[in-house]
Amino acid sequence: MHLGCTTPRDVLAAISENDIKMVDFKFTDLFGQWQHFTVPVEHFDTDGAFEEGMGFDGSSIRGFKSIEASDMVLRADPTTSIIDAACALPTLSMVCNVFDPITGEAFERDPRLVAQKAVDHVKALGIADTIYIGPEAEFFIFDEVSYHQGRNSAAFSVDSEEAPWTSEFPGGGHKVGLKGGYFPVAPFDTLQDIRTEIVRAMIDAGIKTELHHHEVGTAGQCEIDMQYAPLVQMADQVQLFKYLVKNVAKSHGKTATFMPKPIFEDNGSGWHVHQSLWKDGVPLFAGDGYAGLSELALNYVGGILKHINSLLAFAAPLTNSYRRLVPGYEAPVIAALSARNRSAAIRVPMYSSSPKSKRIEFRCPDPGANPYLAFAAMVMAGLDGIKNGYSPGDPAEEDLFEEENISKYTQVKGSLSEVLDALEEDHDYLLEGGVFTKDLIDAYIGYKRLNEVDAVRLRPHPQEFVMYYGT
């Protein structure tokens, strides 16, 4: 339940009014995972929580600090106060910012700080005062999952009562075929009630939610759309949304994943990010240009397309992201702008003629991204486009999923290694206004290469045994 707090005093009142037993403090590591610790309400201290900060070991958090300088502190944001629906006892939860206890300065690798700096930078430039973000997050809910990786063996398995390869589940005759999961009703859609429960939990937590439905992928692919919100608020909501999805699924004996491509030869999970700039209550993306966009909006798109490969290091940040970003699975691999056309990297939704509805939809990201860094990077790329007057190029009107059309356009890079290379070469636009720092970018690239790229690149794949064992 969202508590509507704005001050530490409000938090104290909420603790009393709701018979709170525990207080939980959450923050996000460099790569998008929520971390937390919890204190009994008897030991909750407003000075520590909101002013002095609460200490933790930064060297144990991915991408934060080394062991010789590990002491960090958290300061809670009272406006994020909710009653945590996943906890058995009444627990008040707050999102925190990270600080250095010696200098008292905000920690430059705190993703939430980066997002706030992006917003402040836009305001300082005088371009806009509000950045609205509206993500469409897809995910899978499975009945079972198992995986194993060793030196001499590797395996994974997922299962769903909806999947065409199963028969032992009740109602086994009603199956969702590969790429056949868009909008089916029950009994094909077995997850209606679970999605509804997630949506109600989101609404109770203060997340305005527009709709939910089954997605194209088989074996339980779902989508829940949130109403647009200001950038930092939306990044907070994305973290809470993922938390609620996973915990509601678990409460039903199922398991949810935001992994972009868990099933071979089926559609992966995208994270289409709608965005627009506003100033003084006026939408800045509406105009008389292509698809009803303003020149500012077209330049914004031009910036995203110019920097798309380095941008994907934050927006599609997993090795698995590039199992999804391939032609043939409704994945937008073409760096182009189009109205209505879902096969382009950037689409202009045309459902409404209202200027307030005018926005762009960046379709390459996936829900494995850290929302704070991804949203901030998108905005910084767009701002660079506005600053330099970048054109998005000729719009792509044909079906870009057709092989004969793909060759006419530039495709995005096809691996995490390549987009990290792009980020290493193309990141000056991120450094503008001190939004990102070179230290953060270097730490991010180094960790990804060592712990993700090499972890996959150096291991034999089961398919290689199929193809090569008898060589």
For 316-361, how does the pLDDT look when each residue is reduced to its tens digit (9 = 90+)? 999 999 999 987 666 788 899 998 666 789 999 988 889 999 999 9
Identify the active-site residue in 29, 100, 110, 136: 136
Nearest to 236 by CA among 78, 28, 376, 37: 28
- Nearest CA to 39 out of 51, 55, 61 is that of 55
Report pLDDT for 328: 67
**Catalytic: which of 45, 51, 57, 464?**
57
State the alpha helices, DSSP H only, in 307-370.
308-315, 321-324
Query: Is 363 in the active site?
Result: yes
Residue 177 has pLDDT above 80, yes or no: no
Q: Which fold is adopted by the domain 124-468?
A: Creatine Kinase; Chain A, domain 2 (3.30.590)
Q: Does domain 8-107 have CATH number 3.10.20.70?
A: yes
What does pLDDT average to over the chain?
Answer: 93
83: tokens are 């009653």
217/129: higher pLDDT: 129
342 tagged catalytic = yes
How do residues 226-250 score in pLDDT, each as one tens digit?
999 999 999 999 999 999 999 999 9
Q: Is 402 a catalytic residue?
A: no
Assign 28 a pLDDT band (cuts: 50, 70, 90).
very high
Find the distance separating the first CA and the last CA of the chain, reported in whole Å: 60
CA dist 449 and 442 (Å) reads 11
Q: For the chain, what are the domain ranges?
A: 8-107, 124-468
361 catalytic residue (yes or no): yes
- Residue pLDDT, tens place only, 68-114: 778 999 999 999 999 999 999 999 999 999 999 989 999 999 999 99
pLDDT tens digit string along 410-458?
Answer: 889 999 999 999 999 999 999 999 999 999 999 999 999 999 999 999 9
Check if 138 is active-site: yes
Active site residue 398: no
Provide the pLDDT for residue 169: 61
Residue-wise pLDDT tens digits, 274-305: 999 999 999 999 999 999 999 999 999 999 99
Residue of 100, 110, 138, 161 marked catalytic? 138
Task: Indicate which residue of 75, 112, 272, 324 is catalytic.
Answer: 272
CA atoms in the 13 A half-sphere facing the CB of 433: 24
- Active-site option among 361, 366, 384, 452: 361
Structure tokens at 69: 């300088």
How does DSSP assign 185-250, residue by residue? PTTT---HHHHHHHHHHHHHTT--EEEEEE-SSTTTEEEEEEPPEEHHHHHHHHHHHHHHHHHHHH
- Strand pairing report for 271-279 and 360-362: antiparallel
Catalytic residue among 274, 324, 363, 427: 363
Query: Which one is catalytic: 29, 215, 366, 384?
Result: 215
Instruction: State what percent of residues in the chain have pLDDT above 90.
Output: 82
Q: Is 121 a catalytic residue?
A: no
- Report the distance separating Cα 424 and Cα 436, nearest Å: 13
Rounded Cα distance between 90 and 87, Å, is: 7
Q: Please confirm, yes or no, whether 197 is among the known catalytic residues.
A: no
Average pLDDT over residues 34-48: 95
Q: Active site includes 457?
A: no
| pLDDT, position 143 | 95
Encode pLDDT of 304-316 as tens digits: 999 999 999 999 9
Give the sign of the dihedral formed by CA 303, CA 306, CA 310, CA 314.
Answer: positive
**Which one of 29, 143, 162, 223 is the catalytic residue?**
223
Beta bridge pairs of residue 130: 278
Length of the chain: 471
Out of 36, 252, 323, 342, the active site residue is 342
